[in-house]
Amino acid sequence: MNLLNLSLFLTALLGSRILPFTKADAEFAGQLFQAPGVKRAQRLDTMIAATAILEGAELATVNVSDFAPFIPFGLKLLGAPKH
């Protein structure tokens, strides 16, 4: 599957649920990256978490433990235990 077909497939599947990564998201991701307990390997997770938090969206993931450090900052994980 080429990149164009993948893009069309994802747009058809997810529609308007694909969110852009904005300057505000980048700035907040930087703050999350500096938080205690966040590891260097989680830099992409901070970007995803920041976008979800600022949009007030629930994040669906099978890697709940990867995103757990961001719950105190307001991240809502779909299906995760309530804290």
* Residue ranges in the chain modelled with pLDDT below 70: 1, 16, 79-83
Q: What local confidence, expressed as pLDDT, does residue 80 receive? A: 60
Contacting residues for 76 by C-beta, under 8 A, at least 6 apart: 52, 57, 58, 59
45-67, pLDDT tens digit by residue?
999 999 999 999 999 888 898 89
The rounded distance, in Å, linking the Cα atoms of 51 and 27 is 10
Scanning the structure block, which residue is given the tokens 């433990």? 65
What does the pLDDT read at residue 47?
95
Residue 81: the pLDDT is 60
d(CA 26, CA 14): 23
Residue ranges per domain, the chain? 20-77
How far apart, in whole angstroms, are the C-alpha atoms of residue 28 and residue 21? 11
